[in-house]
Amino acid sequence: MPLRVHFYRISFAEHCDLFSSILSTDIILSEGEKIPDPADYEILVYPTPSKEWIEASPYLKAVVIPWAGIPNRTREIMANFPKICLHNLHHNNYNTAEFALTLLLAAAKRLIPMDQALRQNNWSPRYQPTKAILLREKSALILGFGEIGRVIGEYCLALGMQVRAIKKHPSIFPNNLPVEVFSLDKLHDLLPITDVLIIALPLTAETENLIDQTELELMPEGGILVNIGRGPIVNQYALYNNLKKGHLRAAGSDVWYNYPPSKEAISNTSPADVPLGDCENFVLSPHRGGMVEEVEIQRVHALARLLNAASQGLPIPNKVDLQAGY
């Protein structure tokens, strides 16, 4: 029997031919922002489906979010449908890991202030005492050792760093890297021996404000923090205070506390409630870590793998644990 899949909206229109060429021939696709009639889809590709969309098809067995994060609205709605599985994609894991490394290197080498000075023909940073540090042999702690965290671990190891990681359930995924993986209850034991803290966690009730004043003060003076997980995992006031007083040498973030609520607000929305942009030891990026030119092709291949597995009766990849939130 063919597998019927409905897309609320296909984001990779220019790559539809590629998608069709790698998709199983027994998959029937449909697309539209209105519930089709008849509503007979078995898989719904829609990041934020309403209750009506989920109830419309009596054959629905899975909802797919075509990216990595889980919208709160979707998590809340899906909790009412325990027999319908929720899945997402991890196609941008290498992209995001590379960006974490970019933020780390920019912060460790104090690249942004030097760039800004030289754009004004100012060479004075060349003749001042350096604030850059060597990362080789420094200790990195990766907070969140999933698809992205493990790639970050590979990159840090390639730099010659000593790498540890924290994962909620350390034994769930095989670890083929020379990285010791700890449970979350070891966080306070590990922070005092952590030169670089890299956050690659999802935002849940458990992880919000996980890194606060106490945790930052446990790190050695002169440490570096990089956040490519979600902004509120790090308390913004504690982050700002530690950057200003110099306990943190530097930090970088691609994730934030405030986002533009409308197109009109794109050019005038502060990413935080504190002036992090005033800290020259802070590297800012507008949540673009997973975006590369190849990202839609990556999405096409990831979706095809997921749907092909479903059509063959195999376990659908990337099942979300609704209770955990990821």
pTM above 0.95, yes or no: no
Residue 76 near residue 21 (C-beta atoms within 8 A): no
CA distance 32 to 7: 7
Domain ranges of the chain: 3-91+294-311, 93-284
pLDDT in tens, the chain (326 residues): 899 999 999 989 899 999 999 999 999 999 999 999 999 999 999 999 999 999 999 999 999 999 888 888 999 999 999 999 999 999 999 999 999 999 999 999 999 999 999 999 999 999 999 999 999 999 999 999 999 999 999 999 999 999 999 998 887 656 688 999 999 999 999 999 999 999 999 998 899 999 999 999 999 999 999 999 999 999 999 999 999 999 999 999 999 999 999 999 999 999 999 999 999 999 999 999 999 999 999 999 999 999 999 999 999 999 998 877 77
In CATH terms, the fold of domain 3-91+294-311 is Rossmann fold (3.40.50)
How many CB atoms within 10 Å of residue 232? Answer: 17
CATH superfamily of 93-284: NAD(P)-binding Rossmann-like Domain (3.40.50.720)
Q: Which of 192, 189, 144 shows the shortest CA–CA distance to 170?
A: 144
For 312, the token pair is: 């063959």
Same fold, 3-91+294-311 and 93-284: yes
For 73, the token pair is: 């609205």
Cα 206 to chain center, whole Å?
17
**Strand duo 62-64 + 43-45: pairing:** parallel
